[in-house]
Amino acid sequence: MSKTNTLEKNKKHNLKLYFLYKAFSWDLLFYYAISFMFLNAYKGLSAAEIIFADSFYPFFKVLLQIPATLFVEKTDKRTGLIVGNLALFVYVLFVLGCHSMYIMIIGNIFMALGFVLKNLCESNLIYDSLPKSNKKQKIFSKIDGKSSAAYYVLEALSCGASGFLYNINPNIPIIACLLCTLFSVILSHLFIEVEDITNPDENHIKIKNARIGFKKYIRDLKNAFKFIFSSPRLKSLIYFNAIFMAIIYLLISYRRSLLSEMGVSAQNIGLIFAVLELLSSIASAYTSKINKKLKNKSLTYLSLYFIFSIIVSGLVVVLTVPYNVELSIVILMLAIQFLAKGPYYTLIKQYLSSFSSSTMRIKIFSANNLIEGIITGIISFIGSWLLLFTDTAHASIIIGCSSFVIVIILLEYMSSRVGLDPEKYTKKDIEFREVE
C-alpha cells in the first residue's frame, strides 16, 4: 500500500474514532452533578475549602500552558492526548481518595494539565485528519457538532444516573467517572498521528512540525498583548470575557453548594442538572438565531440575565418563602444561567476572532486565556473567602451585586468600542497583519 493510501486510511480511522472519543472524553462524565456533595457531605470538606481548592485550577492552567505546548511540540498530538487523558484519570483518583483540601489542590494540578493538553491536541489532531477541501472548516464543524451532541446526551444521562448511584454508595459515581477517563485513555491510544499542514485552520491552533521554542512563544505572546492593548475593541472584549468567565466558573461550585444547603437530595440534584445540561445544549444550537435577534446587544442581555439570576437565587433562599416556591424559583434561575452560558461560549469566540488574521488570532486567544485564568483564580479566591463568613445564599447576593456593578461599567465602556458598523472601527481594531 502506498504512503498516500496509508495516510488517507489513517485519517478516516481517526475521524470514525473521534465521534466515540468526544462523546466519552470531552469532559468528566458522572462527576459534576454530585462532586460538591461528595466532597462536602461524604468527604467532610467545607464549601469554602472546596471552592478555595478549585481556585487554584485556573492558575495552574496558566502556569502549565507553555510547558504543555512545548511537550506536544517535542512529542506529537497523539502523545499529548494520551497524557492529557491520563492526567484526568489521576485527578479522579485524587478525588476518590481525598481527605483534605490540600489533596484537592494537588489534584487540580493534574486536572489543569489534562485539559490544557486536551485543548491543544483534540481539534488539531482531527483537523489534520480531514480530507483536503476548501470547505475544511465546515466539514470540521459538522463532525465536531455531531460529536458534541452525543456528549451532551451522555452528560445528561450521567447527571441523572449519578444522583441515583450516589444514594446507593457515594463512591459509585466517582468510580464510574474514573472508568470513563480510563476508557478515554484507551481510545486516545487508538488514534494515529498524521501530518497535514496544508490549508492551516483559521479557527483552531495548528501545532506544526517546526519546533518554535520557549523564546518565540513568549515573543508571540508579547506581540499579542501589544495588539490587544492598542485595539479598544479587543481590550474591551477581553476585559469583559475575563470577568464574566470568572463568574461562570465560580457559579459551578456555588449553585451546587446552594442546592446542597437547601437540602436537595443527590438524586434530585442529578436530575436537575440533567435537564439543565439539555437546556444548555439546545440554547447552544440556537446561538446564531439568538445573535441575529439581539444583534450587538447579545453580550449585554446574556450577561445581565445571568447575573440577575444569581442575585434572585440568593434572595429567594434568604427570604422566608414556602420551600416549594423557593426551590422552583432557584431552579428557574439556574435554567436562565444554563440558557445564557451555552450561546455565550460560541459568541465570545466569534467576536474575538473577528478582524484578525489566522496567526494573530492564535495569539489573541493565548493572551485571552492568560488574562481569563488570572482573573478567574482571583475571583474564585474571593468567592471561597466569602464562605468563611456567610452561607452560599448571602455570598451569591454579594457576588451577584458586585458583578452587576462591574459588568455595567464594562458594558458602558464597551458601548462605544464593540458592536459598531465595520467602517466605524479604527485601523487598530481591524488590523490584519502581525504586530512587529
The CA angle 370-50-320, to the nearest 5 degrees, is 110
**Residues in Cβ contact with 211 at an 8 Å cutoff, skipping those fewer than 6 apart:** 73, 74
Residue of 32, 42, 29 whose CA lies nearest to 179? 29
299 is written with which cell numbers?
453580550
Q: 168 with 34: CB under 8 angstroms?
A: no
Provide mean pLDDT across the span 96-122. 92
Mean pLDDT for the chain?
A: 82
Q: Which residue has the cell 451532551?
A: 152
One-letter amino acid for residue 357 of the chain:
S
Q: 134 with 215: CB under 8 angstroms?
A: no
One-letter amino acid for residue 314 of the chain:
G
> What is the signed CA dihedral for 343, 65, 192, 2, rounded to 10 degrees?
110
Q: 405 with 307: CB under 8 angstroms?
A: no
Separation between Cα atoms, residue 47 and residue 380, nearest integer Å: 12
Separation between Cα atoms, residue 242 and residue 131, nearest integer Å: 36
pTM above 0.85, yes or no: no
Query: How do residues 232-263 score in pLDDT, each as one tens digit?
Result: 778 888 888 899 999 999 998 899 899 989 99
One-letter amino acid for residue 186 of the chain:
I
Q: Which residue has the cell 473567602?
A: 385
Burial code (b: 16+ CB inside 10 Å, e: under 16) for 266-299 equals: bbebbbbbbbbbbbbbebbbebeebbeeeeeebb
For residue 294, the model assigns a pLDDT of: 74
Provide mean pLDDT across the span 146-170. 88
Greater confidence, 208 or 221?
Answer: 221
Separation between Cα atoms, residue 398 and residue 396, nearest integer Å: 5
* Residue 60, phi-psi category: left (phi > 0), alpha (psi -120 to 50), beta (remainder): alpha
